[in-house]
Amino acid sequence: MGARADRTTAVFERELGTLARNRLYPLLAVGFAALIVAIALGSDVSGYVPLVATLLTPIELLVPVLVAAMGYRSILGDRERGELDVLRTYPATREEYVVGVFLGRLVAITATVVAPLLAVGVAVPVVGRAPTFLPQPSGLDSPVLYLRFVVLTGLFAAALLAVMTLLSALVADARRGLVLAVAVVVAATVGVDAVAVFGLATGVPLGWAALPALSPNGAYRGLVLALAVAPVSTPPARPAPAFLSALSLFCWTTIPLLVAALRVWPAPE
């Protein structure tokens, strides 16, 4: 067990070093933080829950783009440089390699996503004022609800990164990887929701309202509405059951990683 952990840690540290040497990622982090701060400060934030409501839609759009940019070459880059062939001769297994790569990228992406969210959350008592649209007392507008939102956003980013890790394990060249990354972003942000809206418009009783929970974005949105918004104010649309959204996000994180470990290189004979 200790040897497996050491090998995974070695891949993890190698991935962090790769990210540190790439000049694009700091620019992405700065750009993401600037957008989050601008959106928060430009919305006349009146409390923690209003801040969640303000940031939810931008986060659903920005995080998939950020994760795609930082994750679609995670394994593809090693394949293009011929490093996968070298790594196959090392004692590390396919699972240890994929987990190490995933965790290395996840640390960088989580820091990029969470840091600006925490920063604007800390600023709420300074620049905000007591909520006026909530029927409950303003004391219910707790920072704990905002922290739930931040944690759920980190889990959302992890699920998307797992999908990008799988994509990176499957493609053979950067052009195809970029095209598929864009397709995943579009499908995650608007695809499933569009199908659900179309289904609801047809009037066929097939449980279309729960369909968005089957996508990473829809599951994330449902959990945020259920755990960070509903305790204070009933959301305008009833989300899918929280357990369904949580199960969906869990599956989007674990299953792509399992498949990526099977496909990253052939199993030894």
Give the up-direction half-sphere exposure of residue 31: CA atoms within 13 A in the CB hemisphere.
Answer: 11
125 pLDDT tier (thresholds 50, 70, 90): confident
Nearest to 191 by CA among 39, 64, 68: 64
Measured between alpha carbons, how far is 176 from 230 in angstroms, rounded to an integer? 41
pLDDT (tens digit per residue) in 148-177 = 999 999 999 999 999 999 989 888 777 777
Measured between alpha carbons, how far is 36 from 153 in angstroms, rounded to an integer? 13
- Kindly give the residue spans of alpha helices, DSSP state H, lying in the chain: 2-21, 24-41, 48-71, 76-80, 83-87, 94-127, 143-170, 174-186, 192-202, 216-224, 242-263
User: Do 27 and 107 meet the contact criterion of CB atoms below 8 Å apart?
Assistant: no
Nearest to 75 by CA among 173, 165, 7, 13: 165
User: Do 239 and 209 meet the contact criterion of CB atoms below 8 Å apart?
Assistant: no
Instruction: Give the mean pLDDT of 233-256.
Output: 79
Which contacts of 179-184 are long-range, i.e. CB under 8 A and separated by 24 or more positions? 180/72, 181/68, 181/72, 182/68, 184/64, 184/68
**pTM of this prediction?**
0.86
φ, ψ dihedrals at 132, nearest 5°: -115, -15
The string of DSSP letters for 105-127 reads HHHHHHHHHHHHHHHHHHHHHHH
| Structural tokens at position 71 | 């994750």
Nearest to 262 by CA among 83, 77, 47, 94: 94
Nearest to 162 by CA among 45, 60, 252, 262: 252
pLDDT (tens digit per residue) in 196-242 = 444 444 544 444 456 667 788 888 988 998 888 876 665 555 666 78
pLDDT at position 131 over 50: no
> Domain extents for the chain?
2-127+136-263
pLDDT at position 3 over 50: yes
Measured between alpha carbons, how far is 42 from 38 in angstroms, rounded to an integer? 6
Nearest to 4 by CA among 100, 101, 86, 92: 92
Q: What is the DSSP letter of 267?
A: P
136 pLDDT tier (thresholds 50, 70, 90): very low
User: Do 146 and 52 meet the contact criterion of CB atoms below 8 Å apart?
Assistant: yes
